[in-house]
Structure 1
């Protein structure tokens, strides 16, 4: 969003402000203020004009500018009604030098998950990718995946969904038919031996997605199916705010992840590509390693597909 337009919205968030006062505060002409107000109205913002000035009376249901209004986190939002992949766009922004951008879409037409698997991303979901430049070594990058899972879980719980995390990157809901996937996370990185150049954290949430629009073979669910429609604007804001708080306290990410984990204490089978590790998941250690108690002793797994098994 245009910086002056963003400043106009910020000024109107909490008070009614006259055109001359806005012009003086923003160091622009009164005509420029009027043009920005008209542009905001065209974007769906309800701005009333009265004797005391301009008053913000309504915000669009979703969209970049709507998400930024009242957002207590330092992310600029780039919104698309439809885009092939928010992660692809985020990588473009990252290689161009951008940071702290949230690429958000109502629909993805070419979404993907881990191992380049197709990820269904119909209209009504929350599909977003964060462009980050953390001052950490590459070995710490998985911590941001854990932070994204915690942030998503917390936002889902605020929306009335009893969500939990399955290692390494899925947010689940327990239903009468078993575990169902609510959200997935995909992190991509470029860096050198001692530091991360950029990090893209992709988060896909089945928010207001109808059951018929979910892939039949993916064992998925949505916030709509479990708890009814959610205010996607508020949900996205809470997710971004929780993530921002967690990335500012990386030492607190693992304890928060353990608190919401569905995997710990479960009997699991983890396919690593080379072998299968079967046993009880007993811990997750930094920066995201799963510790499994097997018949031959404890094994640490840094990556793989995890399946929760029925108790023997």
Structure 2
């Protein structure tokens, strides 16, 4: 069933945002790119009840089953290409903060997951267009489990047993949209360093032990470029490694997840 745009607009901080709502699409990210190519003004927001070729990290494609939130936002930005990781970081933090205001203890799992009670609630995928080493356009794609069937270690929000204040997929849509823009505005006003301090405050893995080439390390945070920071100690020496996304899988207590 198609979402009610009036209910979404009622909870948006900026209800003038144009919403493009579909039952089924191949990929909400691709629909945004197509709408931008057709001359639609920024921001472009696309929401679907189902995806048949959703995009994940590392080029993965999967079917997004009915009942979840599949949403993409197209932004017109002016950002150095080397800072592309900032887009996922600011979006993840903004959405998590927005959800936490509704009595959901959401945390962040490096590099791009929203987690609840140690399970995957959702994920974020950003795409960019670059000209002269500058990002000119970006699409932030978000998938959040609502009532859809998910394999372990996923969790649909409707099965979360504790009280919270999200009563519909429309409300979840508005929270997510508000969160992306909140993260972006915070980034523009306060910079990446401040945003990362807030990001690390709700990162689930700080203090966790990991094994790097036979040496035990401790996760101490995430860099401004989205790298996992691991402190390694051996007799007489101490160093900090910065691991790029994709170089280490942190997994979930219930098993591995598809990013």
With the length of structure 2 as denominator, give the TM-score of the two structures: 0.80
What is the CA deviation profile of residues 207-244 of structure 1, one whole-angstrom value per residue up to 9, with x for unaligned ones? 122xxx213xx521111111487322222212222221
Aligned residues: 238
Alpha-carbon distance between aligned partners in 1 of 2:11 and 2:106, rounded to the nearest angstrom:
25
1:196-207 equivalences under 5 Å are 196-207=135-146
What is the CA deviation profile of residues 33-73 of structure 1, one whole-angstrom value per residue up to 9, with x for unaligned ones? xxxxxxxxxxxxxxxxxxxxxxxxxxx99333432345213
Alpha-carbon distance between aligned partners in 1 of 2:43 and 2:217, rounded to the nearest angstrom:
39
1:288 counterpart = 2:226: yes
Q: Summarize the Cα distance change of 1:75–1:142 in structure 2 as closer, same or farther, 3 Å threshold.
A: farther
1:133-282 equivalences under 5 Å are 133-174=76-117, 179-209=118-148, 213-215=149-151, 218-227=152-161, 230-250=167-187, 251=191, 252-268=194-210, 279-282=217-220
**Whose strand fraction is larger, Structure 1's or Structure 2's?**
2
CA drift of 1:109 comes to 1.8
**Whose helix fraction is larger, Structure 1's or Structure 2's?**
1
Which segments of 5 or more consecutive residues in structure 1 lack a partner in the other structure?
1-59
Q: Summarize the Cα distance change of 1:163–1:299 in structure 2 as closer, same or farther, 3 Å threshold.
A: same
Q: Contact 2:91–2:184 (CA<8 Å) still a contact in 1?
A: no
Q: 3-state DSSP class of the match of 1:92?
A: helix
Alpha-carbon distance between aligned partners in 1 of 2:172 and 2:67, rounded to the nearest angstrom:
12
Q: 3-state DSSP class of the match of 1:207?
A: coil
Instruction: Please name the residue that 1:29 is paired with.
Output: none
- Relative CO higher for 1 or 2, CA cutoff 8 Å, sep ≥ 6? 2
CA drift of 1:279 comes to 2.3
Q: Contact 2:76–2:137 (CA<8 Å) still a contact in 1?
A: yes
Alpha-carbon distance between aligned partners in 1 of 2:146 and 2:205, rounded to the nearest angstrom:
23
Q: CA RMSD in A?
A: 2.8
Alpha-carbon distance between aligned partners in 2 of 1:109 and 1:115, rounded to the nearest angstrom:
18
With the length of structure 1 as denominator, give the TM-score of the two structures: 0.68
Q: Contact 1:65–1:77 (CA<8 Å) still a contact in 2?
A: no
Alpha-carbon distance between aligned partners in 2 of 1:119 and 1:221, rounded to the nearest angstrom:
17
Instruction: Please name the residue that 1:42 is paired with.
Output: none
Alpha-carbon distance between aligned partners in 2 of 1:153 and 1:257, rounded to the nearest angstrom:
9
CA drift of 1:144 comes to 1.7
1:129 counterpart = 2:72: yes
Q: 3-state DSSP class of the match of 1:306?
A: coil
Alpha-carbon distance between aligned partners in 1 of 2:219 and 2:36, rounded to the nearest angstrom:
35
Q: Contact 2:52–2:62 (CA<8 Å) still a contact in 1?
A: no
